[in-house]
Chains A and B, each alone.
Chain A
Amino acid sequence: MNVLETIRIGLQGIAANKLRSGLTMLGILIGVASVIVLMAIGNGASVAVTASIESLGTNTLTVRHGTFGGENDTTRTQFKDLTVDDAVALVDPVLAPDVVSATPVVTAATTCTFEGASYSTSVTGTWPSYFEASNSPIGTGTPLTADDVLNSRRSIVLGQTVISELFGDTDPLDRTVTCGGVPFIVVGTIEEKGSSGFLDADDVAIAPLSTVQSKLTGYGSLDSILVQASSSEASTAAESEVTSILDQRHGTTSEDNRDFQILNQAALISTVQDTIGIFTVLLGAVAAISLLVGGIGITNIMLVTVTERTREIGIRKAIGARKSAILTQFLIEAMVLSVIGGGLGVLLALLATRITIADVTPVIVPSSVIGAFVVSVSIGLFFGSYPANRAASLRPIEALRHE
């Protein structure tokens, strides 16, 4: 009795009952497809958020003024401003070898207008190094220059969202846009970065620090200092260097009365990825349950098949079929159902993940494809073996008497 022969007998069994075999495969198909698709959505969300954070630069640290917890305020002796001098002090090849640049940043929430169109955005006042540190390449025109800052020129560089809101199809270069009552000349535009749902990286307007401070915000504390580390691996080292320099300058005596906060992009990415990872596992678990239900479907169908064909089993045993031959016949039926069902499920998932769902472009996790397929076949084996074993263990006379 060779294997090929048994496979042939198993296939005949499936072909004899097309509708039922089809429905069983559908159960497995849905299970496999949903595992792959849901994992792909979770992964897609993670990729999208990571990309949007990365578009801000993975090697940057943002030093923010103030703290977010209010409970320490009573112990704080002094609350120093974040100043341009702080930013200058951070670029120090001895004390801070991992810091490449430090750029002061102030922001002013304003409304910008151009020929009747108006748009609320925040104007960022900063230095030319901002473009590189924040990973914002210039599309058309020129970036801000040191000259612009020194002379407090009213130059401005706009992101694509602001441009489309104010100018539509008109070329914005050299036009005058009014922000917070101050007229600015558009000298450059920033390449489109793409938004990621909750964060629009193109909604920016960048002007010289000196101009924004003198016309819009006044000369108070900086909002933040954008620090560029030499690489994303060095960002942790840079973070501690920046902390110790600023601690000294601000007279920090303990972590409780520190008057600044450092946001590390690399650390942020890993936190976000962890969070989405949990979410993805959850989705996968839900999908795994449907795969399990598909497996129970196979067991059920195999039980029915075995009961219905008990007489046939009796005949086969009466003419000398061994237990192993009967067992393999039914196991192969179960396996074929799950292999075809699983295979079609993979195909369906590959098609379904081409569709963008709720702003997320699914990205297939290769291991989920292999995993779901292997699991579906194992389920076929595992859940098919019980009815198959029952069939194979029947005494021939019992099977033959079965009506």
Chain B
Amino acid sequence: MTPVIDLQSITKVYGAGDTEVQALRGIDLSIARGDYVAIMGASGSGKSTLMNIVGALDAATSGHYALDGIDIDDLDESALSIVRNRKIGFIFQSFNLIPRTSALSNVELPLVYRGVRRRERRARAITALESVGLGDRMHHMPNELSGGQQQRVAVARALVAEPSLLLADEPTGNLDSRSTADVLDLMGRLHDQGRTIVMITHEDDVAAQAGRVVTLVDGQISEDRRNRP
């Protein structure tokens, strides 16, 4: 079976000349369908850089990337936007909800850009919001929600379009322990439903939830282990 993510000798260089930064120095990584992977590493080790490339938000300097068997390197901007819309759900550390737009509209948005009809997408967005326990907060604006609630809206938005891949860059980084537990619980449930999840984290107990932990040091993979057999 083709892996969901297949990275080969991925490098990323920021800037040029004196200010050149080698953020990634040859990453080979393959992630199977249904896996739950935690990415760890010191600050500046290249975790976010890697995640942005995997999420098709940024392009690698060199190397090959295939997502669900599709060669991402060859795609133009308009094809990439379709990939982002259908294959990937991205969860950010800073929530990144659209301001002055209700939770429901935020969750509906990926379906709007996919061209789903109003009635259907409304129903799917409501289901997604209920599954993250926010059925009673649908018409709240982001600034009327707590951090944990905002992040759960973001999770609902990431999974409403049923992508093959959920990517989360420190999703609990801005949350207290109570909300962290909520979000992690949610991730666990999604994994149990068979979703592929890649999550960046700094905390060991968060990583302990995942089935596989990949550690980066200076833009290279230094350790890749399984938690449970």
Residues of chain A whose beta carbon lies under 8 Å from any beta carbon of chain B = 1-2, 5, 12, 16, 311-312, 314-325, 395-397, 400
Among residues of B, the one whose C-beta sits closest to the C-beta of A399 is: B57
Which residues of A have CB within 8 Å of B157?
Answer: 319
In the bound complex, CA of A316 to CA of B113 (Å): 9
Among residues of B, the one whose C-beta sits closest to the C-beta of A4 is: B118
CB distance from B117 to the nearest CB of A (A): 9
B15 at the interface (CB under 8 A from A): no
Restricting to B31-88, which residues have a CB under 8 Å from any CB of A? 52, 55, 57-58, 77-78, 81-82, 84-86
In the bound complex, CA of A324 to CA of B81 (Å): 11
Which residues of B have CB within 8 Å of A315?
Answer: 96-98
Which residues of B have CB within 8 Å of A1?
Answer: 112-115
Which residues of A have CB within 8 Å of B90?
Answer: 318-319
A-B contacts, 26 of them at CB < 8 A, read A1-B112, A1-B114, A2-B115, A5-B112, A16-B100, A312-B98, A315-B96, A318-B55, A318-B57, A318-B84, A318-B96, A319-B84, A319-B90, A319-B109, A319-B113, A320-B82, A320-B113, A321-B85, A322-B81, A322-B113, A323-B78, A323-B81, A324-B78, A397-B58, A400-B92, A400-B96
In the bound complex, CA of A397 to CA of B12 (Å): 14
Residues of chain B whose beta carbon lies under 8 Å from any beta carbon of chain A = 52, 55, 57-58, 77-78, 81-82, 84-86, 90, 92, 96-101, 109-110, 112-115, 157, 161
Are A320 and B57 in touch, CB under 8 angstroms? no
Are B112 and A396 in touch, CB under 8 angstroms? no
Among residues of A, the one whose C-beta sits closest to the C-beta of B81 is: A322
Which residues of B have CB within 8 Å of A396?
Answer: 57-58, 84
Are A317 and B58 in touch, CB under 8 angstroms? no
CB distance from B222 to the nearest CB of A (A): 25
Among residues of B, the one whose C-beta sits closest to the C-beta of A396 is: B57
Among residues of A, the one whose C-beta sits closest to the C-beta of B105 is: A12
In the bound complex, CA of A319 to CA of B95 (Å): 13
CB distance from A324 to the nearest CB of B (A): 8
Question: Which 4 pairs of residues, A with B, have the shortest CB-CB distance?
Answer: A320-B85, A397-B58, A397-B57, A320-B84
In the bound complex, CA of A275 to CA of B48 (Å): 72
CB distance from B45 to the nearest CB of A (A): 18
